[in-house]
């Protein structure tokens, strides 16, 4: 998917909501456990109920890998369902991968070709030759971890490296990489006040923003400091939406939570 | 596996060799492609031919994920085969994972419980609460990326952060985390001269050292600067061993390359 197609979808739906499909069998409605593939059954119901309210879905691969083969199979079915039934939706494999060059190419093939996601999250620690193999894929997007929403972000990301914080070094340096136009960045909503400075470095790039809701971030602050001319924001909510109810009404409850966020976003889009 | 068991195995086999099982279907002997599971057939033959010469195997998960479900299945069969037939072998899932707390727990379950690896490689960028969930598993080992063997290591890892290089900050900081005794570290052989300083910070920890051979690192230099009282080294070779021959003699050729390294290691162990 091109960035323009993503922007058009945002304008049309008046939403920049991304829904995190982090499926934990201990948390989904228990009546789904008798399904042949409870993970996919849960995802399918959530997607069918919310696809008109959001522009992106983001399965975190950890939740699928934790269930071994059946988890990987559920991930395959989920992305296939999205690509076939809702091709306008932007898909994110939240995998936080990264390895030396030829190995990163294998990961890129896994997520961009085999699974056919539009984007994948990547960790920056190993530098340029660990990220460029992802950037080489046309109309695919590499979402680089910059400033994450967890407490551990302060261990290294905010430490000063040669005059500026490490996450700013990551932003600055990554702009010089080949096909840098395919980069987006993860910036946690819990650190909204950092967004103004981030926008000075990367005025137009899309930011994937976790941490609104469950982790305490505020939508209005994120928009105030982080919105660009072409919106430039994908705000993710996972637990707050998908686990809104543990009863048989779980999909309707998820849609209701998603709609509340979408309405807030419509106001921000003006 | 406990660290003591690993050290005993090293002393007994006079080897601290780790063999990287990075299986690329374009590189394995073509007669294997007619097997039902070519990836596992290749791994099984390599393992049977080399298990007495090495102490660890390290599949890089990228190579398996690139083949989707059948790749993940081959990974499961490989680790199951190792755990059943050669339980004395130390197993490493080279996955370079890392995510926010509860999500890292899912990854830890995937690799330590579902797949039953002894260890997993983890990226440090997201800090303490992304790594501690892995450290919580008893007799399992978390191998943290410190100084990698690729060119991109110089983008961020060697940059100065508050008076010392980022990779040294990672070493220093990680020592303070809960269950830090379960930490090992990735340090590339291509930067052997850094090992002396690294040993000042972590005198006893095991180091997983890629980059000997194909990437130009030197075994003697790594031992000179990096060996600790209890050896403290696992030196990895992947392509140099597993692709020693593309003919029907591939397993014997791999054993021959592994034996050459094992003999050099026996000399270093004295």
ipTM, two decimals, is: 0.96
Residues of chain B with pLDDT under 70: 214-216
Residue of A nearest to B152 (CA): A127
- A267 and A59 Cβ atoms separated by less than 8 Å: no
Assess A9–B contact: CB distance below 8 Å, yes or no. Answer: no
Concerning whether A96 is annotated as a catalytic residue, the answer is yes
For residue B158, the distance in angstroms to the closest alpha carbon of chain A comes to 10
Residue holding tokens 């306008």?
A88
CA distances from B176 to B103, B125, B180 (A): 22, 16, 7
Assess A128–B contact: CB distance below 8 Å, yes or no. Answer: yes
Q: Which of A14, A96, A128, A224 is catalytic?
A: A96
Q: How far is CA A99 from the centre of its chain?
A: 20
Reported CATH class of domain B3-263:
alpha beta
Chain B CB contacts of A189 under 8 Å are none
What pLDDT is attached to residue B157? 97
For residue A54, the distance in angstroms to the closest alpha carbon of chain B comes to 23
Please give the CATH architecture assigned to the domain spanning A3-269: Alpha-Beta Barrel (3.20)
- To which H or E segment does residue B12 belong? helix B3-13
Please tell me which of the candidates A94, A100, A114 has its beta carbon nearest to residue B148.
Answer: A100
What pLDDT is attached to residue B216? 66
Q: What is the DSSP letter of A25?
A: T
Classify residue B237 as exposed, middle or buried by CB count within 10 Å of its CB (0-12, 13-18, 19+).
Answer: buried
- B53 and B39 Cβ atoms separated by less than 8 Å: no
For residue B9, the distance in angstroms to the closest alpha carbon of chain A comes to 29
Assess B27–A contact: CB distance below 8 Å, yes or no. Answer: no
Query: What is the number of CB-based contacts under 8 A between chain A and chain B?
Result: 183
A232 sits in the region (left: phi over 0; alpha: psi -120 to 50; else beta) called: left
Assess B103–A contact: CB distance below 8 Å, yes or no. Answer: yes
Coarse DSSP helix, strand, coil percentages of chain A, rounded to the nearest 5 percent: 50, 20, 30
Q: Tell me how far apart the alpha carbons of residues A187 and A92 are, in angstroms, rounded to a whole number.
A: 15
User: Which of B120, B156, B172 to probe by mutation at the A interface, max A CB count within 10 Å?
Assistant: B156
What pLDDT is attached to residue A191? 75
Assess B225–A contact: CB distance below 8 Å, yes or no. Answer: no
- B147 and B174 Cβ atoms separated by less than 8 Å: no
Q: Which of B96, B138, B168, B257 is catalytic?
A: B96
User: Which of B22, B63, B69, B100 to probe by mutation at the A interface, max A CB count within 10 Å?
Assistant: B100
Q: Tell me how far apart the alpha carbons of residues B173 and B183 are, in angstroms, rounded to a whole number.
A: 12
Range 181-220 of B in CB contact (< 8 A) with A: none
Residues of chain A with pLDDT under 70: 214-216
Chain B CB contacts of A39 under 8 Å are none
User: Which of A20, A21, A62, A164 to probe by mutation at the B interface, max B CB count within 10 Å?
Assistant: A62
Structural tokens at position B2 = 């406990």
Q: Tell me how far apart the alpha carbons of residues B119 and A35 are, in angstroms, rounded to a whole number.
A: 33
Assess A124–B contact: CB distance below 8 Å, yes or no. Answer: yes
Q: What is the DSSP letter of A231?
A: B
Chain A CB contacts of B69 under 8 Å are 69, 72-73, 76
Chain A CB contacts of B98 under 8 Å are 96, 123
**Are B153 and A126 inside 8 Å of each other by CB?**
yes
């Amino acid at each position: 998917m091109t960035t323009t197609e993503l922007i058009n979808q945002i304008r049309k739906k008046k939403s920049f909501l991304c829904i995190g499909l982090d499926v934990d069998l201990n948390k989904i409605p228990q009546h789904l456990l008798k399904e042949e593939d409870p993970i996919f059954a849960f995802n399918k119901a959530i997607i069918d109920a919310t696809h008109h309210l959001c522009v992106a879905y983001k399965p975190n691969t950890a939740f699928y890998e934790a269930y071994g083969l059946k988890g990987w199979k559920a991930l395959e079915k989920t992305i296939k369902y999205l690509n076939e039934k809702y091709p306008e939706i932007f898909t994110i494999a939240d995998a936080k991968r990264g390895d030396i060059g030829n190995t990163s190419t294998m990961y890129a093939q896994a997520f961009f070709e085999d699974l056919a996601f539009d984007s994948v999250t990547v960790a920056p620690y190993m530098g340029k030759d660990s990220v460029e193999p992802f950037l080489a894929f046309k109309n695919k997007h590499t979402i680089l971890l910059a400033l994450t929403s967890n407490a551990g972000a302060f261990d290294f990301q905010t430490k000063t490296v040669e005059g500026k914080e490490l996450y700013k070094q990551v932003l600055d340096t990554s702009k010089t990489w080949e096909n840098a136009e395919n980069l987006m960045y993860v910036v946690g909503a819990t650190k909204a006040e950092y967004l103004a400075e981030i926008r000075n470095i990367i005025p137009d790039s899309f930011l994937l923003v976790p941490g609104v809701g469950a982790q305490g971030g505020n939508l209005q602050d994120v928009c105030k400091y982080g919105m660009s001319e072409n919106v430039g924001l994908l705000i993710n909510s996972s637990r707050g939406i998908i686990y809104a109810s543990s009863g048989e009404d779980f999909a309707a409850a998820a849609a209701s939570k998603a709609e509340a966020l979408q309405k807030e976003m419509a106001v921000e889009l003006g």
